[in-house]
């Protein structure tokens, strides 16, 4: 995606950071430059998702905790593993954040049967929706090939191949409109 064709932006990714250490990490990895590549609509959706980001030691995940900051409630905390993410380029970290945000904003429709595999597809497809298909599929394949903990399963390669084969996106139109 070419940032010169992107809409003007006023939101900074650090607004989602829950502590100074996370701001420092996001700045050091230049995540804002990746964030500026997505549309203003998606930036606003992310801001309104009730998510906060923190750098910690478990693998990346969305934790449905309640966290209060400045009088406002943050419903979902995205925990990024600093050691793991230090191996990533900025667009790969940003894709990881988008995937976790996808669990919040691109949820499986209630009328559809759901399982963890389908939930991962929906979260992955939010990344496609934002225009980072190649970066995410490349990262998934690399982690699978390196047999990174939690990424050595056949499902990881299947998820990447959905992007490479350009399979239909699973998008919850109600949630994303």
Residue 118's pLDDT is 87
Q: From the first residue on, what is the mean pLDDT of each consecutive set of 10 residues in the chain (177 residues)?
A: 45 81 88 89 84 74 53 71 85 92 83 75 94 95 90 93 93 78
What is the model's pLDDT at position 3?
41
Quote the CA–CA distance of 141 and 30 in Å, as a whole number: 23
Helix orientation angle between 90-105 and 40-48, rounded to the nearest 10 degrees: 60
Angstrom CA distances, 12 to 61, 86, 89, 158, stand at 21, 21, 19, 33
The whole-number pLDDT of residue 175 equals 74
CA distance linking residue 136 with residue 125, whole number of Å: 10
Name the residue ranges covered by the structural domains of the chain. Answer: 3-164
Interacting residues of 159 by C-beta distance below 8 A, sequence separation 6+: 120, 121, 124, 140
């Amino acid at each position: 995606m070419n940032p010169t064709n992107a809409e003007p932006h006023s939101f900074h990714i650090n607004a989602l950071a829950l502590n100074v250490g996370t701001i420092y990490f996001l700045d050091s990895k230049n995540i804002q430059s990746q964030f500026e590549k997505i549309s203003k609509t998606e930036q606003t959706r992310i801001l309104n998702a009730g998510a906060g980001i923190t750098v910690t030691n478990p693998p990346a995940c969305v934790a449905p905790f309640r966290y209060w900051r400045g009088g406002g409630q943050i419903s979902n905390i995205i925990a990024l593993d600093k050691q793991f993410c230090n191996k990533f380029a900025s667009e790969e970290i940003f894709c990881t954040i988008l995937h976790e945000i996808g669990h919040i904003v691109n949820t499986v429709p209630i009328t559809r049967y759901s399982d963890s595999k389908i939930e991962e597809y929906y979260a992955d497809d939010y990344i496609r929706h934002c225009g980072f298909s190649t970066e995410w599929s490349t990262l998934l394949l690399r982690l699978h090939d390196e047999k990174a903990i939690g990424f050595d399963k056949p499902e990881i390669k299947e998820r990447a191949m959905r992007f490479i084969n350009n399979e239909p996106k699973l998008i919850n139109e109600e949630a994303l409109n």
